[in-house]
Amino acid sequence: MFTAYVIVTVLTAAANTYAAIVDFRRPQWVLDNMTKWGGSYSWLFELGALKAAGAVGLALFFVGAITVVVRARWYSHLSWPTTYLLLAIGSLALRLAVS
């Protein structure tokens, strides 16, 4: 169980780190996504910082991301924040299981 915890935690941290770097680099597809759901480009730094915090265990960002996607009724995009949230929850559950 401890090995599974470490693997899921590392994958979660890697996924969050990647997501933060993407926001900091501001590729066109991220800007297009921001435009589609009505966000402001000025939010990208803060979003990247929250995702970077997610690399050390923050899951609340992804609950917010899911809320924004649902509010925008962009259901085809729902799998992305949901995947990150499930990784964070998996990390927490495995950590509690090995305690």
Domain ranges of the chain: 2-98
**C-alpha span between 23 and 45 (Å, rounded):** 7
Q: Could you give the 3-state DSSP secondary structure of residue 3?
A: helix
Residue 34 vs residues 39, 72, 74: alpha-carbon distances, Å: 5, 11, 12
Per residue in 43-96, pLDDT (tens digit) is 999 988 888 877 655 577 788 889 989 999 999 989 988 998 888 888 778 877
CA–CA distances in Å: residue 38 to residues 2, 35, 75, 92: 41, 5, 15, 32
Specify the pTM. Answer: 0.64
Tokens read off for 37: 């759901």
